[in-house]
Amino acid sequence: MLSLTLIISLIICITAEPVSAAIQGESKAEREERYRLTWEYSTDAERYYLPTEIKAYACGLSKNDFILFAKVVEGEGDDNDDNITDKVLVACTVLNRVNCRSWPTTTVKTTLQRPGQFTVVDKETGECKLARSLDSEWAIVIAYRMVEAGEVDCHMVYYNAIGFTGYSRAFTDYAYCGGNYFSVIPCDCESCTAREPDWKEEDVVMVDFEILRPEGVGPNYI
């Protein structure tokens, strides 16, 4: 049973009719408060289907940056009927690069558009022409949660994308999922040290877990 707040948000998102005058005339603060309340009073199963702009707000991103992020995650991650693990780990890799002070970029957008890093991003225009999905949008939401909670190694900043094989000998193996080989590298920057002060490369072990969609949801990839 969908909540009233979710129903209202979905109607606003998909209807072809003009939205109410109150919504049209709302200030940025009023709009963000509406987003906050909608998010707070929805379950994860409901949040999965919320409009893109509300998910972007929940992650602290602009709608355009969130859409680019979701497109890249869709293109770089694996489609799986059972889970969204690979997509989430791809998103975590991006966020770890943003957080790491040794990395040359400090925002999601500049990290995604850094030349030569993501095969689905045009190196000339910085655009990704692929479509995003509900799975790739939700993977970003979960990645933010995991990174914030320290549930994924903050040193995981590399992966070999689908179409390549094996791990790089220069890095330490961390996870394998959906054709992607995820790796960690040592870093003693202020951010990584604060997040994992006792981290030692020799202590890293391969992780093996599944990240599921909310109960009763999906699959919803392209």
pLDDT tens profile 58-112: 999 999 999 999 999 999 999 999 999 999 999 999 999 999 999 999 999 999 9
Instruction: Answer with the residue of higher pLDDT: 156 or 7.
Output: 156
The predicted pLDDT at position 14 comes to 42
The predicted pLDDT at position 25 comes to 82
Amino acid at 79: D
| The pTM of the whole model exceeds 0.75 | yes
pLDDT digits (tens, 9 = 90+) for 14-36: 443 455 555 778 999 999 999 99
pLDDT of residue 12 exceeding 80 = no
Q: 62-203: which CATH number, 1.10.10.2520, 3.40.50.10140, 1.10.150.20, 1.10.260.40?
A: 1.10.10.2520
β-pair partners for 180? 177
The predicted pLDDT at position 53 comes to 98
The predicted pLDDT at position 11 comes to 45
